Amino acid sequence: MLSKSRNSAMTHQATAAAARHAAYIKRLRTSMRRALQATKARETKRAAKGRPAVAVTVTLDQIMAKLEANAYACALTGLEFWNDDADQFGPTMPSIDLISCDGSYDDANTRVVVYGITACRGRGSDDDLYHIAEALLARKRSRRG
């Protein structure tokens, strides 16, 4: 049987972990709200200038459901967001990614990934990204020896 003080310490740890998780989800919600607003503004501006623009119909609730389905981590890597050396803007910040670059920002064509995925992938495919990642890891392994 656990002592009263040890049980209390475990309860405190669980409470602290729950608070950190709640703060993480709140930060994700705020980040995704801002990302959606920026995406909508960017596409509206493009359309106003007569440039090709895509519809942005995905909602914050849909984005948050995607995050929840992926345990609040990157849909491709499984990495938690904001776990890099950057202070705010870094390669592991969350980014709304188009699955098909020629599609719109709708529920079926979006996912949330670390920004480094979006930046590296560009208009390429997931297979292009995997090819680059494999080469990067192979180079890292060859330099160790």
Binned average pLDDT, 10 residues per bin, the chain of 145 residues:
65 88 95 96 96 96 98 95 82 94 96 93 90 93 85
Give pLDDT, residue 5.
67
Specify which residues 111 forms β-bridges with.
97
And the tokens for 142? 């060859």
Contacts 24+ apart (CB under 8 A), 58-62: 58/96, 58/105, 58/106, 58/107, 58/110, 59/107, 60/29, 60/32, 60/33, 60/36, 62/107, 62/110
Give pLDDT, residue 6.
67
